[in-house]
């Protein structure tokens, strides 16, 4: 299980990937216009 610090880092990275990464991040636009980020572990 991850600790809170790792979880926070993951969430910040995911948020930045959604809006600030431009075309670099792999994103999927859902039918309801929400954006999903593909996370590769």
Overall pTM > 0.85: no
Q: Compute how many other C-beta atoms are within 10 angstroms of the C-beta atom of residue 1.
A: 4
Express each pLDDT in 21-39 by its tens digit. 666 667 778 899 887 777 7
Whether 36 and 26 have beta carbons less than 8 Å apart is answered as no
Q: Higher model confidence: residue 38 or residue 18?
A: 38
Give the per-residue pLDDT at 11: 82
Radius of gyration of the chain (CA): 12
Domain encompassing residue 17 = 4-37
CA distances from 1 to 7, 12, 13, 33 (A): 10, 18, 18, 32
């Amino acid at each position: 299980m991850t600790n809170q610090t790792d979880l926070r880092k993951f969430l910040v990275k995911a948020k930045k990937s959604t809006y600030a990464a431009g075309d670099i991040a792999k994103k999927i636009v859902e039918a309801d216009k929400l954006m999903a980020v593909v996370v590769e572990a």
